[in-house]
Chain A
Amino acid sequence: MIKTPYGHKVYAMAAEYQSAAALYEAAKRVRDAGFRRWDVYSAFPIHGMDEAMGLGKSWLSGWVLFGGISGLLTAALVEFGPSSILYPVDVHGKPTNFFTVPAFFPIMFELTVLFAAFAAFFAWQGMNRLPRWNHPMFNWERFSRVTNDGFFLAIEARDPRFTETGVRQLLEETGGQHITIVHED
């Protein structure tokens, strides 16, 4: 655990960049330097940043598929159970057997969409470990601009390649400004 002379735990070393383009270039350099525990912050998603950071496709879609399938099965259960077994409703003498299944499709479709949407909604929060009350990055005053027009890059102290001088030099070389140590608490 790295600590400052005043005894604060160090979360990361961070820098501010002037533009999305500068942040993008810096991210590629940090990726190529082999860091693992680091992140960039911006007010909007930057196109191509996932590749620049060396991140692959998000597999959130797996949760959505799971949600959709469970919705479909729920609808099938809710419809077939009552309509075929518990309480077959005789409407105009129409059949109530399995071959009336097309009449069940609308509700199957709706519940598939509903469950998949809930899965997407909870998966993006769960996979991002949100909601959370606080985060060390918020200890940096300048960071309040991240949701306005700030572009930030932070390399965490727990990264095995983290050395104070090395990281500071890398951030300086890539054009980072206001380079600072971000405290854990």
Chain B
Amino acid sequence: MDGAPAAAPEKIKEAEQRIAHVPLVLNRRNFSWLTERISGVVEQPAPRWWWVAFTITASAATFGLFCIGYLISTGVGTWGNQIPVGWAWDITNFVFWIGIGHAGTLISAILFLLHQKWRTSINRSAEAMTLFAVICAAIFPGIHVGRFWMAWYLAPVPNNWAIWQNFRSALMWDVFAVSTYFTVSVLFWYTGLVPDLASLRDRATTKIRKFLFGIFALGWRGSNRHWRHYEMAYLLLAGLSTPLVLSVHSVVSFDFASTVVPTWHSTIFPPYFVAGAIFGGFAMVLTLLLPARAIFKLQDVITPQHIDKMAKIILLTGSFVGYAYTMEFFIAWYSGNAYERFAFWNRIFGPYWWYWWFGMLFCNVLSPQLFWFRWCRYNVLVVFFVAMCVNAGMWFERFIIIAGGLARDFLPSSWRVYHPTWVDIWTYIGTLGIFTSLFLLFIRFLPMIAMSEVKTAVPEADPHHDMPLQSVSPGGKERTR
């Protein structure tokens, strides 16, 4: 610091205050408070609002499943899909849901590799969100094949026709990418859960809880010889998930980019889709966590600082997305290709014009720009509003990309505007129901915050912490075995 130019002392003071270390767990909460508060959510009886919410979401899920049954038994004619719009809400929903999953993996893997300790408060629920979103996503490719009973043919299984899949097809890559993504996400999520399941086991008051949590905790006892291998496994799973998550939406985008349909055939798609996926996924994380932290009084764990950081990621990825939109238009003009120019002109002024003005421009590009202002990032209502805008906007974006190009393809005589049927609409609402029902079950039965990880973000977890010794917890209950 010797050679540094002298700045006015008050300026230095101001700067220091701004970058002052804000603790990740507020109010100096200790380890036992964290255990009590987070396990308490699972251990107390379900509140009334939970039953009301679950009844609504489970009803929607059930009706969605009925729609799927109706589709399979009657045929894809129950959907609005018609040539030339052969892919519509089904694949829109698939891309929408799979994209949402990406935020969970970004938080659990990429932020872990980058030593972002603030991820510990949100990674568990974000990973759960990933799993449930991928479950919703996986429904659509299965049912849109038309002959649902042939869906097993996606897997390379030797069969009596001796016919094999085309492994050079982007659709085949997609099958492997999505199924690997789901499996690895489950392994990563469950690995993270084991120490917390052990916490619930050790706190269990009934035999059945003790038995079930005991089974799933695998006999975990917090031994450091175990933590050593566990941490290495966690690190490697994070390292494996990082390229995986970037590959999944890239491969999804290949489904489009490797075709010749205008607005699909584009080299910008892989990074554009990945940025959009993280963008939309963080919006969904906020949509789920903002109510949850208020209801379960977790404001000391999911602090304004966490929301601020998530808002900044939405601003960053939203700006990537805005840049990608601009580039698409620029390249359409610069290429001099009449079909390409028409396709993008059609995007703004064609049959789906308001999807573009509202969904892509207002929701995706403009609304996140509010997060340049600190006030907006720290106002929960503004953050929630922007998150909802992004949720909607990303769905519209996928729909415009998929149906917009098909509805105005190369042959004007075959142009047709797509209209969804009630089965389309209710299948989508049904997946929203499945997603929220699964999330409600998750917060009821499993710790929604990774206790063992949040504890490492408390200052006392540092072995060189020189504060007065923390008393052996007054909150810890003595139990006999």
Stretch from B67-75, B349-357, B411-419, B451-459 contacting the other chain: B451-459
Q: Are A134 and B236 in contact (CB under 8 A)?
A: no
Q: Are A47 and B463 in contact (CB under 8 A)?
A: yes
Number of interface residues of B (CB under 8 A): 77
Chain A contacts with B in 30-47, Cβ cutoff 8 A: 39-47
| Residue A131 interfacial (CB < 8 Å) | yes
Tell me the complex Cα distance, A49–B226, Å: 12
With beta carbons under 8 angstroms apart, the residue of A22, A53, A120, A145 that contacts B469 is A22
| Residue A69 interfacial (CB < 8 Å) | no
Chain B contacts with A in 459-481, Cβ cutoff 8 A: 460-466, 469-473, 476, 478-481
Chain A residues positioned under 8 Å from B111 (CB to CB): none
Chain A residues positioned under 8 Å from B221 (CB to CB): 41, 135, 137-138, 143, 146
Chain A residues positioned under 8 Å from B219 (CB to CB): 130-135
Q: Are A150 and B176 in contact (CB under 8 A)?
A: no
Tell me the complex Cα distance, A42–B201, Å: 15
Nearest A residue to B184 via CB reads A117
Stretch from B133-141, B237-245, B321-329, B365-373 contacting the other chain: B237-245
| Residue A20 interfacial (CB < 8 Å) | yes
| Residue A139 interfacial (CB < 8 Å) | yes
Chain A's interface size range is: 35 or more
Q: Are B247 and A109 in contact (CB under 8 A)?
A: yes
Q: Are B233 and A87 in contact (CB under 8 A)?
A: no
Nearest A residue to B454 via CB reads A44
Chain A residues positioned under 8 Å from B455 (CB to CB): 43-44
Q: Are A16 and B162 in contact (CB under 8 A)?
A: no
Q: Are B481 and A117 in contact (CB under 8 A)?
A: no
Chain B residues positioned under 8 Å from A149 (CB to CB): 30-32, 35, 472-473, 476
Nearest A residue to B166 via CB reads A89
Chain A residues positioned under 8 Å from B188 (CB to CB): 117
Q: Are B168 and A104 in contact (CB under 8 A)?
A: yes
Given A21-B465, A123-B233, 9 more pairs with CB closer than 8 A: A21-B466, A106-B254, A124-B233, A128-B229, A135-B219, A141-B478, A141-B479, A145-B473, A148-B473
The 10 closest A-B pairs by CB, nearest first: A24-B463, A149-B31, A82-B164, A124-B233, A131-B218, A103-B168, A58-B232, A87-B164, A147-B199, A106-B173
Q: Which residues of B contact A (CB under 8 A)?
A: 30-32, 35, 156, 162-169, 172-173, 176-177, 180, 183-184, 187-188, 190-191, 195, 198-199, 201-203, 218-233, 236-237, 240-241, 243-244, 247, 251, 254, 451-453, 455-456, 460-466, 469-473, 476, 478-481
